[in-house]
Amino acid sequence: MLGNMRLKDKVAIVTGGASGIGFAIAAKFASEGAKVVIIDITGDKAEEAAERIRKSGGEAIAFQGDVSSRGRVEEIISEVLRRYGKIDILVNNVGIYRGKSFWEEPLEFWELLFKVNVLGIVIPSQVVVKHMMERRSGVIINISSKAAVVGEPGHAAYSASKGAVLSLTRAMAVELAPYNIRVNAICPGPTETPLLFAVTDEDERKRMASRCILGRLAKPEDIAGAALYLASDEASYVTGQALIVDGGMTITAVERF
Ligand SMILES: NC(=O)c1ccc[n+]([C@@H]2O[C@H](COP(=O)([O-])OP(=O)(O)OC[C@H]3O[C@@H](n4cnc5c(N)ncnc54)[C@H](O)[C@@H]3O)[C@@H](O)[C@H]2O)c1
For 218-244, what is each residue's pLDDT tens digit? 999 999 999 999 999 999 999 999 999
Contacts of 131 (CB under 8 A, 6+ apart): 77, 81, 86, 87
Q: Is the pLDDT of residue 166 over 80?
A: yes
221 vs 236: CA distance, rounded Å: 22
Nearest CA to ligand 1 atom 23: 16
- The CATH number given to whatever domain includes residue 73 is 3.40.50.720
Distance 178 CA to ligand 1 centre (A): 31
**Phi-psi domain of 8 (left: phi exceeds 0; alpha: psi -120 through 50; beta: other):** beta
The total number of structural domains that make up the chain: 1
Q: Is 208 near ligand 1, meaning CB less than 6 Å away? A: no
223 vs 218: CA distance, rounded Å: 7
Share of the chain above pLDDT 70, in %: 98
Check: CB of residue 125 under 8 Å from CB of residue 167. no
Range of the domain at 21: 11-192+219-245
Q: Is 13 near ligand 1, meaning CB less than 6 Å away? A: no
pLDDT of residue 3: 80
Mean pLDDT (the chain, rounded): 97
Residue 1's pLDDT band, with cuts at 50, 70 and 90, is: low
Which strand ranges, in their side-by-side order, compose the sheet holding 138-143? Answer: 59-64, 35-40, 11-15, 89-92, 138-143, 181-188, 242-245
Q: Does 60 fall in a domain?
A: yes
Rounded to two decimals, the pTM is 0.98
Q: Does 6 fall in a domain?
A: no
Most ligand 1 atoms within 8 A of CB, residue of 96, 166, 168, 169 to mutate: 96
Distance 18 CA to ligand 1 centre (A): 9
Q: Does 80 fall in a domain?
A: yes
pLDDT of residue 70: 98
Q: Is 150 near ligand 1, meaning CB less than 6 Å away? A: no
H runs (alpha helix) in the chain? 20-31, 43-55, 70-84, 107-113, 120-135, 156-176, 194-199, 202-210, 220-231
Half-sphere exposure of 92 (CA within 13 A, CB side): 34
Residue 253's pLDDT band, with cuts at 50, 70 and 90, is: confident
- 109-138 tens-digit pLDDT: 999 999 999 999 999 999 999 999 999 999
Q: Is 158 a catalytic residue?
A: yes
Q: Is the pLDDT of residue 144 over 90?
A: yes
Q: Does 207 fall in a domain?
A: no
Q: Is 195 near ligand 1, meaning CB less than 6 Å away? A: yes
Q: Does 166 fall in a domain?
A: yes
